[in-house]
Amino acid sequence: MIRIDAVTKRYPDGTVAVDRLSLEIPDRAITVLVGPSGCGKTTTLRMINRMVEPTEGSILLDGQDIRQQPVNTLRRSMGYVIQNAGLFPHRTILDNIATVPRLLGRSRRQARDRAAELMERVGLDTALAKRYPYQLSGGQQQRVGVARALAADPPVLLMDEPFSAVDPVVRKQLQDELLRIQEELGKTIVFVTHDIDEAIKLGTRVAVLRTGGRLAQYAPPAELLSAPADAFVEDFLGADRGIRRLSFFPSADLELQTAPLVRADADAGTLAARATAVPYLLVTDPDGRPLGWSEPGRLTAGAVDREQLLDYGRPFVPGTDSLRAALDGAVLSPTGWAVAVDGEGRAVGVVSQQVIGEAIRAAHGRVAERAGEAAGR
Amino acid sequence: MNVLDFARAFFGDGAHWHGYDGIPTRFAEHIGYCLEALAIAAAIGLPVGLLTGHTGRGGNALAFLATAGRALPSFGLLVLMFIWIGLGLLPVMIPLVVLAVPPILVTTYEAVRSVDPSPVDAARGMGMPETRVLFQVEVPVALPLILSGLRTAAVQIVSTATIAAYVSLGGLGRYIIDGLYQKDYEKVVGGATLVAGLALVTLAVFWAVSRLAVSPGVRRGGRG
């Protein structure tokens, strides 16, 4: 555990970057520091590997003051990823990744073997090993940056706005990749960003800092969304926090209806039987993949006109996707019903906005109950 | 007679190809002076440039020294040193070194200082000691510019080393000065051609060195 204890950073000109900040950063989780520019989040991160020395207060790593070991020993035990990756332009990708193992005295061969292993882990084609950084895209460079930070298998990973310089599509890929790697490796990650959505997506816990380097709130992301500590945090979270909070509620418990599912090649009898039960039917192909909605009366057995079907919006995968995806699907669908599919894209049922709304209320109720229990203890 | 005829007559004369005043001897002497002056200038300019560039301090003082150094006329300095010290290699080396240090020093300082700060920050953050940050990150990245400073200095030394002949030393300047004195223009043109040729060879050598020493990852970066 990293314990930041009443740390202040004051510069000679009197500016206070971090003001009596205390934070407990749990092991094997992603802790995100987020806030507007000038809130001291990067300074805080850089104090953990002593790139910046605090003016007051102390930082403990597993109970020991970080100043007790030589600064370079400390830094080699912490992976460090920065914005724009900061790769060494004169070294190949492989040698970039091998840097810290080499610093720790591994042989060139061992270090390169390890580097090749890391390339695969972060999703880089090993054919890129002999290339130089300028030959890689921004997203690839950032993956190299992550691989380089992981090369010596440090328990701690410090990431300073690592994904903010890449385009939104690549950023999402890198975020998903980081979550996957974290699932496998379980590092203690401290992640700095100014993007609250990134913080909510990646963080196990999120520390919101305000200008002047003071802590505004430190909580798991769902709690941040449901109970912002003050107007500043609420404002920083931005619009739609109610909707965004739905990301933390699972869709697995939604009661699906299978009655409205009908295959395009269904016979007249089946069509007639289904027609009485529901206002709309979801027509699927012979494999069960959704094609579109139709009013029962408009369907003729054996002659389904695909052009006549209504768009079915965006389907969600129960269990994998959240209530937010389910609600989004229902809102997008002209019929007001969301389509649930399995991993292969085959329709497994449909669910109405009303049912989703009830599920949301139930989920809120459960959260309130847990909060009440926690308060009662 | 035009310049080409002079040159042809000079290089065609077999007497110019051997003996203590022959082309090989004078060439070797000239190269000897140049290498010595460049080595001394590099021994002063490189460490100071690397250190100030790495720490980012002392830039103003450097700019002042460099301007002062460039403003000093080499020939005047030579005469002054000759009067002061007397005959020998030292009065020649001083103006050559004074001439060569500013381009080496200033370019090295600028080269190291202008290295992209993010790889340097990353290197430090990974626990690289400062000397390694300098020699394994900053210098390799700054190398094309550092070499260009050395190249400028070397070419200036090659052409200016002719002044050695004024104080009774050898080198290719002998031909120019003796030729002017004897009104032997074949010699003057021949000597000048050799100096110009050596300057071109110097450029070629530096081009080859930078091909070999500069990483392909940096060469592409648009600085070499």
- For residue B224, is pLDDT > 60? no
Residue in A with minimal Cα distance to B222: A134
Contacts of A144 in chain B (CB under 8 A): none
State whether A225 and A265 are in the same domain.
Answer: no
Say what the pLDDT of residue A239 is: 85
- For residue A220, is pLDDT > 70? yes
Backbone angles phi, psi at A281, to 5 degrees: -115, 140
Say what the pLDDT of residue B27 is: 93
Q: Is the pTM of this model over 0.80?
A: yes
Q: Which of A80, A84, A88, A158 to probe the B interface (max B CBs under 10 A)? A: A88
* Interchain pair A158, B125: CB under 8 A: yes
Which pLDDT band, with edges at 50, 70 and 90, does A377 fall under? low
Task: Establish if A204 belongs to a structural domain.
Answer: yes
- Work out the average pLDDT over B96-123: 95
State the average pLDDT for chain A.
Answer: 92
- Work out the average pLDDT over A225-254: 91
State whether A277 and A327 are in the same domain.
Answer: yes
Contacts of A83 in chain B (CB under 8 A): 118
ipTM for this prediction = 0.87
- Work out the average pLDDT over B95-123: 95
Say what the pLDDT of residue A272 is: 78
Contacts of A84 in chain B (CB under 8 A): 118
- For residue A224, is pLDDT > 50? yes
Among chain B, residues having any CB pair with chain A shorter than 8 Å are: 116, 118-119, 121-129, 132, 137, 140-141, 143, 215-218, 220-221
Task: Establish if A256 belongs to a structural domain.
Answer: no
User: What CATH number is attached to the domain comprising B22?
Assistant: 1.10.3720.10
Q: What percent of chain B has pLDDT over 70?
A: 97
Give the number of domains in chain A: 2
- Work out the average pLDDT over B92-105: 94
User: What CATH number is attached to the domain comprising A278?
Assistant: 3.10.580.10
The H-or-E segment that residue A191 falls in is strand A188-193
Gap between the Cα atoms of B164 and B193, Å rounded: 17
Which pLDDT band, with edges at 50, 70 and 90, does A365 fall under? confident
Cβ neighbours of residue A256 closer than 8 Å, sequence gap 6 or more: A318, A340, A348, A349, A350, A351
Which pLDDT band, with edges at 50, 70 and 90, does B223 fall under? very low
pLDDT in tens, B133-175: 999 999 999 999 999 999 999 999 999 999 999 888 989 999 9
State whether A186 and A328 are in the same domain.
Answer: no
Domain that residue A307 falls in: 261-359
Contacts of B220 in chain A (CB under 8 A): 132, 134
Domain that residue B88 falls in: 3-215
The alpha carbon of A199 is separated from its chain's Cα centroid by a whole number of angstroms, namely: 7
Residue in B with minimal Cα distance to A50: B125
pLDDT in tens, A104-143: 999 999 999 999 999 999 999 999 999 999 999 999 999 9
Pairs across A and B, CB distance < 8 A: 78
pLDDT in tens, A25-45: 999 999 999 999 989 999 999
Q: What percent of chain A has pLDDT over 90?
A: 75
Task: Establish if A371 belongs to a structural domain.
Answer: no
* Interchain pair B126, A99: CB under 8 A: yes
Residue in B with minimal Cα distance to A100: B126
Task: Establish if B10 belongs to a structural domain.
Answer: yes
* Interchain pair A132, B220: CB under 8 A: yes
Residue in A with minimal Cα distance to B118: A86
State the average pLDDT for chain B.
Answer: 91
- For residue B41, is pLDDT > 50? yes
* Interchain pair B221, A85: CB under 8 A: no
- For residue B79, is pLDDT > 70? yes
Task: Establish if B120 belongs to a structural domain.
Answer: yes
User: What CATH number is attached to the domain comprising A144?
Assistant: 3.40.50.300
Task: Establish if A374 belongs to a structural domain.
Answer: no
* Interchain pair B215, A49: CB under 8 A: no
pLDDT in tens, B189-201: 999 999 999 999 9
- Work out the average pLDDT over A68-72: 95
Nearest to A90 among B121, B128, B217 (CB): B217
* Interchain pair B127, A75: CB under 8 A: yes
Which two structure tokens, joined as six digits, stand for A146? 């992550």
Task: Establish if B221 belongs to a structural domain.
Answer: no
pLDDT in tens, A174-201: 999 999 999 999 999 999 999 999 999 9
Say what the pLDDT of residue B221 is: 47
- Region of B103 please: left (phi>0), alpha (psi -120 to 50) or beta: alpha
* Interchain pair B118, A88: CB under 8 A: no
CA–CA min distance A60, chain B (Å): 18
- For residue A210, is pLDDT > 80? yes
